Chains A and B, each alone.
Chain A
Amino acid sequence: MSTTPTPPSVPAAPAGSLADTILSALDALLTAAGGILPFAGYADLLVKIAQKGVLSYEAHTGKPIDPTLLKPIDKV
């Protein structure tokens, strides 16, 4: 593969928030690694998974614990 992988777009997060900072860092990391990643698809996917986790965390930071947000997951 001769094409340089394109970094994934970063979803919007509140400016200055932890999510915004980490997502920016992720974007920078992927950009820096873009030229050496032969399989950009997996990299893109993993970054999006990571981003989802960070956004999920940011969304509930500082809020009271809500046990109903955690649910069992069915296997594939």
Chain B
Amino acid sequence: MKYTMILSLCLALAGCAKTVAVHPGAISNLDSYAYDLLIVEQDSINTAKAQYQAGQLPASAKTALNAAIDQYNITEATWQSYHATGANQTALQSSLDALIVAVGELVKLLPAKSTPKPVNQSLEVFHVHYAYAA
């Protein structure tokens, strides 16, 4: 229900006209989707990391941030292997799911005092928006 509402919001606001294309050089939809997701999460994590190191995030964010980094590194390595060989598709899918959860936990932790729902939703919208048809 939650994701349906978020997706509806995304469709209404973004116009829903743009289809996410498969990147040239991708070996499959999963390959392209994983690449997109990793690009976004890499940038999001690096941004959050920079903010943490600048003292702009609460100290309690460290555990979740490191957990997200760990899962990102696992997923990145799994994707590199999958992209190169086509092997370990199931492992990549599981790793992507875990990465989304880990980054979601990080995001949930940050605004714990204020609960800025629209911001959380906007990040979740990205995950829904980039979902692929297997």
Binding site for B on A (CB under 8 A): 18, 21-22, 24-26, 28-30, 32-33, 37-39, 41-43, 45-50, 52-54, 56-57, 60-65, 67, 69-76
Whether the pair B118, A29 counts as a contact (CB closer than 8 A) is yes
Q: Is the interface of B mostly helix, strand, loop or mixed?
A: helix
Contact of A57 among B36, B57, B119 (CB under 8 A): B36
Residues of A within 8 A of B32 (CB): 65
Q: Please list the residues of chain B having a beta carbon within 8 angstroms of any beta carbon in chain A.
A: 10, 13-15, 18, 20-21, 23-26, 31-32, 35-36, 38-49, 51-53, 56-57, 62, 65-66, 69-70, 72-73, 76-77, 79-80, 83-84, 107, 110-111, 113-114, 116-123, 125-126, 130
Task: Tell whether A76 pairs with B66 under 8 Å between CB atoms, given A65-B32, A67-B80.
Answer: yes
If A42-B116, A65-B31 touch, whether A49 touches B48 (CB-CB below 8 Å) is yes
Q: Nearest A residue to B123 by beta-carbon distance?
A: A50
Q: How far is the CA of A56 from the CA of B41 in the complex (A)?
A: 10
Q: Which of B24, B45, B118 contacts A64 (CB 8 A)?
A: B24
* B113 lies within 8 A of A50 (CB): no
Which one of B39, B46, B53, B113 has the highest number of Cβ atoms from chain A below 10 Å of its Cβ? B39
Question: Among A30, A37, A56, A65, which residue has its beta carbon within 8 angstroms of that of B26?
Answer: A65
Collect the chain B residues with CB atoms within 8 Å of residue A28's CB: 13
Residues of chain B lying within 8 A (CB to CB) of residue A38: 113-114
Chain B residue at minimum C-beta to C-beta distance from A18: B18
Min C-beta distance of B102 to chain A, whole Å: 12
Interchain CB contact (< 8 A) of B118 among A33, A70, A75: A33
